[in-house]
Amino acid sequence: MAEVASELLPLLRVYKDGSVERLSGSPMVLPSPDEDPETGVSSKDITISENPKISARVYLPKLAQPISTQKLPILFYTHGGGFCFESAFSLVETKLMNALVSEAKVVAISIEYRLAPEHPLPIAYEDSWSALQWVASHSVNNGGFDNKEPWLARFGDFDRVFVAGDSAGANIAHHVVMRAGREKLAGGVKILGAFLTHPYFWGSKPVGSEDTRDFEKLLPSLVWKFLCPNVAGGADNPMINVVSPEAPTLAQLGCRRLLVSVAELDVLRDRGILYYNAVKESGWEGEVELVQVEGEDHAFHILKYETENARKMIKRLGSFVLKQ
């Protein structure tokens, strides 16, 4: 039996042979190529890259006739899970995407980036950026990639590209949008908007109402220290503390619209509010909104997807995408 090297309970266990046992996360589910019975959304799994291994689940809403000329916004999504668990192919993320795609009428792609600790940060950022470049390449006839996805090529409107994520996925989405502000995407594609739900941002010192006595024992502190024990700056590294003095200015955000969502009972709430205010004060020229949901905890719209508040949250995110 393999010997345990370290643990991050209740999330994962690392063995001395290098293997990782994930103790959290929802079960994997198959896509619905013939339409999800609840939403009518179709989905399929694709491979973006073999080396490195990057895959995704692609979604298409039930289309009105005629479909030959119908163009849909594109939603590029990165799932949550503390950088170290969950999957684009899991039950809760698939439920979320089916609901979002049905509500917002988008063609969506949910990225299966490689997870820490086997693949330390910034690998998740690099995988996601590579995947976004691949998506953008569909905007031109010869985008430099051999494996084209027909749903993106046929139905995608590359003037309406959105980047989004939840929790750690919202952190990744932020960094992807920041990079898009510094570097060009294939075909000159621009990101119209981004929404970050319950983003996993953190720091070395408490802010707002965060617990000052047991700050180091809070789960966001424990996860970051476990996954990145030797990273420069610790919890103030710009990967996790995007408002630290060493972080690039938020005025570089490479989109025109931004929505930040927080939940009242979420330990990450005050970081999301801090981020929202920092974006407003940065000199960024886009439009930023803050959505606060009372009485709910982290990722409620994903983990409690059948509740009325979850449905309202999905509608709110959908209206952000559909806004003209």
Q: What angle do CA 284, 288, 294 make, to 5 degrees?
A: 145
Which tokens sit at 244? Answer: 């630290």
CB 218 within 8 A of CB 256: no
Give the sheet arrangement for strand 4-8, strand by strand: 4-8, 12-15, 20-22
Which tokens sit at 158? Answer: 């590359």
Residues 253, 251: Cα–Cα separation, whole Å: 6
Sequence-distant (6+) residues with CB within 8 A of 187 are 136, 137, 139, 140, 143, 158
Residues 266, 30: Cα–Cα separation, whole Å: 30
Residues 288, 277: Cα–Cα separation, whole Å: 9
Count each helix (H run) and each strand (E run) in the chain, helices first.
Answer: 8, 11
Q: Which residue has the tokens 């000159």?
A: 188
Residues 90, 88: Cα–Cα separation, whole Å: 6
Give me the active site residues, please: 167
- How far is residue 11 CA from its own chain's centroid? 19
Phi-psi region of 295 (alpha: psi -120 to 50; beta: other; left: phi over 0): left
Within 208-306, residue ranges assigned H as helices are 219-227, 269-281, 300-303
**Residues listed for the chain:** 324
Closest CA to 111 of 56, 148, 162, 177: 56
CA atoms in the 13 A half-sphere facing the CB of 57: 27
